[in-house]
Each structure stands twice: as C-alpha cells, then as structure tokens.
Chains A and B, each alone.
Chain A
C-alpha cells in the first residue's frame, strides 16, 4: 500500500540553524501539506501546495518557512533560522484531492 515517507525521523539542531525536512508524497497525489504538532497540543496546519505553488498558508508559516518540490518525488520544508518554539513533530501529508494521508513525522528539537 502506498504511503507517505519522511526523513529524518529525528532532528536536533541549535537555535538559529537552518533545517530541511523531507517528504516523499504518495506518487499519484497532487496536493501536499505540512502540519506540525507541539507536544501535547493540536495538530496545526502550516501550508498546502498544489501545481508547484502554495495554495494556502497559516499564520505560523512566516518568512522563516519555505516549501519546495525540487523534483518529481520530494517535497521539502525549510526553516531558515530555527527558534526554540519550532520544536515539534512535523507531519507531511498528501491527497488526491481531499482525503489526506500523513507521513510518520519528523521530530524536531531546537536547543
């Protein structure tokens, strides 16, 4: 059964460093998403991406965040200068078009 994959599973970084989280969506899906979940809190929408451009972004998705589909399979989330409050689980999801399937997540810890 096709699934969304994410790498790395865990990432530890220093405050102010750049991180890139990677995702491989399900192959025939056209819509891609990033969500995050701070420990003990709700899953929060960050951004959706369709046809090589951002469809929607939340207030969380400020200028420090960017997304890219560098090739036909990968979908990345970059955080340019990490803050302590960026520590969270980051989930990638994909859909075709509405039912979203989530990857296993990347646990990001900013020290």
Chain B
C-alpha cells in the first residue's frame, strides 16, 4: 500500500511569514509529485509539480524534493490570509494508470 503522509495541522502563521508544509511518501520509485490547494467544500486546485531533486520556484511558492529521504515540501513566502486552506500533497503512480495518491492534507491558517 503506497502511503503519503502529512501533518494535519492546523499550521498557524502570521501574515507575511513563510509557511512550510511537509510530506513524506512510502514508494521509493515515485517520480512525480504535486501540491494542490483545497478550500473548504471546493475541489483540489493545482499549485505546482516537481519531478527532480532540489528546489522549484513559482512566484511565492517553492517546492522542494529529496528522493533519498522520500520527502517533499512546499514553502509559501509572504503568506496572505487568502492562502488559508488545506494543502494536499499527491504522488503519481505512472505504473497504475497515472493514479494520484493523496496525503490527508495540512490545514494552513494565515492570521492577519
């Protein structure tokens, strides 16, 4: 059973701070990793993906991947109250119809 684990939170940060969200996965052969944001009652919204070890930046978001440690993280710089949501880490299984396995999500609260 492939597992994706996240701290459920809530993670509370003040406005303007850096929020750091973490995810670990069990399948060492995984190659593709995704971060989605989900507002309450809404669908997952893609933030970014990462395939290679190291950092990938997109605006205020930075994804970090360490395949040796089976660890993915998402940094949100200059956090805004509108960033308050649940952040879902997802791992792709190319050998199983491109299914995504999701973690349970980390709830982020950005306080004004």
- A residues sitting closer than 8 Å to B (CB atoms) are 31, 33, 35, 41-45, 47-48, 50, 54-58, 89, 91, 95, 97-105
**Given the complex of chains A and B, what is the CA–CA distance between A56 and B99 in angstroms?**
8
Identify which of A33, A54, A101, A105 contacts B98 (C-beta below 8 A). A33
Q: A43-B88, A48-B98, A95-B98 are in contact. Are A104 and B103 (CB under 8 A)?
A: no
For A6, the closest partner residue in chain B by CB is B43
**Chain B contact patch, size range:** 20 to 34
Residues of A contacting B97 in the complex (Cβ-Cβ under 8 angstroms): 47-48, 50, 54-57
The reply to whether the CB of B13 lies closer than 8 angstroms to some CB of chain A is: no
B102 to chain A, nearest CB (A): 4
**Given the complex of chains A and B, what is the CA–CA distance between A45 and B96 in angstroms?**
11
Identify which of A35, A56, A99, A102 contacts B96 (C-beta below 8 A). A56
The reply to whether the CB of B14 lies closer than 8 angstroms to some CB of chain A is: no
Cβ contacts B59-100/A at 8 Å (1 or 0 each): 000000000000000000000000000001010101011111
Is B43 a contact of A102 with CB atoms below 8 Å?
A: yes
Is B43 a contact of A91 with CB atoms below 8 Å?
A: yes
**Given the complex of chains A and B, what is the CA–CA distance between A58 and B88 in angstroms?**
20
Identify which of A33, A48, A99, A104 contacts B43 (C-beta below 8 A). A104
**Given the complex of chains A and B, what is the CA–CA distance between A76 and B62 in angstroms?**
36
Residues of B contacting A97 in the complex (Cβ-Cβ under 8 angstroms): 98
**Given the complex of chains A and B, what is the CA–CA distance between A45 and B1 in angstroms?**
13
Identify which of B46, B94, B102 contacts A43 (C-beta below 8 A). B102
